[in-house]
């Protein structure tokens, strides 16, 4: 091959050279301009290095203790709620409900009605109804049971309408937009008295 057959330059090579120059220029423009800092010689001492390591491990240990404490608090909260929800298995919640008789709920209802606390008075009639159902063995009290579940259970009764009225008023007062008034209480009380008869 003769010397004239070799290329002395080509476009690809020139493009590569130009890219390299641009890249080097960019690196030079964006490189941090940090002066050469010299630290005092006493900072290079092994004693300071040991102190720095000790401080680091103490801080890390304190952070670990704090994280464990936070996890423990969270777990305690969930354990407490879990125990509270599952209290019915040992019967303790059952006895609390049975300690308040139907007559006591009715008495509370009357006192609250006289004070003009119609919402709470209706709630007492509702609790008296649930206690009646529990005492009769129709619907054993369970804290997790909803009004809808009680409605299904009372459908087997000969006259479920008064039960439905008390349950509906309770649901509207506590989960709806209904305002408690004297007429609301009267309606709830009339329905409850139909149950008694």
In tens, the pLDDT along 35-48 reads: 666 666 766 677 88
The answer to whether 183 touches 122, Cβ cutoff 8 Å, is no
Supply 24's token pair: 């080097």
User: Of 129, 131, 73, which is closest to residue 97 (Cα–Cα)?
Assistant: 131
- Tell me the C-alpha distance between 112 and 18, whole Å: 91
Write phi, then psi, for 98 (nearest 5 degrees): -70, -25
Separation CA 153–CA 147 (nearest Å): 10
Label residue 91 by pLDDT band (50, 70, 90): very low
pLDDT exceeds cutoff 60 at 120: yes
Question: Token pair of 166, please?
Answer: 């008390």
Instruction: Please determine, for residue 182, whether its predicted confidence score (pLDDT) is greater than 80.
Output: yes
Question: Each residue of 131-142: b (16+ CB within 10 Å) or e?
Answer: bbbbeeeebebe
Give percent of the chain above pLDDT 90: 21
Q: What is the largest CA-CA distance in the chain?
A: 124
pLDDT at 67 (0 to 100): 94
Minimal CA–CA distance to 123: which of 141, 144, 109? 109
Least confident of 63-72, 104-113, 144-153, 183-192: 144-153
C-alpha R_g of the chain: 40
Predicted confidence band at 33 (pLDDT cuts at 50, 70, 90)? low
Give the Å distances, CA to CA, from 159 to 134, 136, 154, 155.
17, 15, 9, 8
């Amino acid at each position: 091959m003769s010397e004239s057959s070799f290329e002395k330059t080509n476009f690809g090579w020139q493009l590569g050279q130009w890219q390299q120059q641009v890249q080097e220029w960019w690196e030079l423009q964006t490189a941090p301009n940090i002066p050469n800092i010299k630290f005092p010689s006493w900072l290079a001492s092994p004693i300071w290095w040991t102190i720095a390591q000790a401080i680091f491990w103490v801080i890390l240990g304190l952070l670990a203790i704090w994280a464990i404490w936070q996890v423990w608090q969270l777990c305690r909260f969930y354990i407490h709620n879990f125990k509270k929800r599952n209290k019915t298995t040992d019967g303790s919640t059952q006895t609390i409900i049975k300690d308040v008789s139907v007559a006591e709920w009715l008495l509370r209802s009357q006192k609250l009605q006289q004070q003009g606390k119609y919402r709470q008075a209706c709630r007492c009639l509702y609790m008296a109804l649930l206690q009646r159902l529990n005492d009769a063995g129709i619907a054993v009290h369970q804290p997790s049971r909803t009004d809808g579940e009680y409605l299904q259970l009372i459908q087997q009764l000969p006259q479920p309408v008064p039960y439905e009225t008390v349950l509906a008023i309770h649901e509207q007062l506590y989960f709806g937009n209904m305002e408690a008034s004297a007429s609301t209480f009267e309606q709830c009380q009339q329905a409850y008295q139909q149950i008694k008869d």
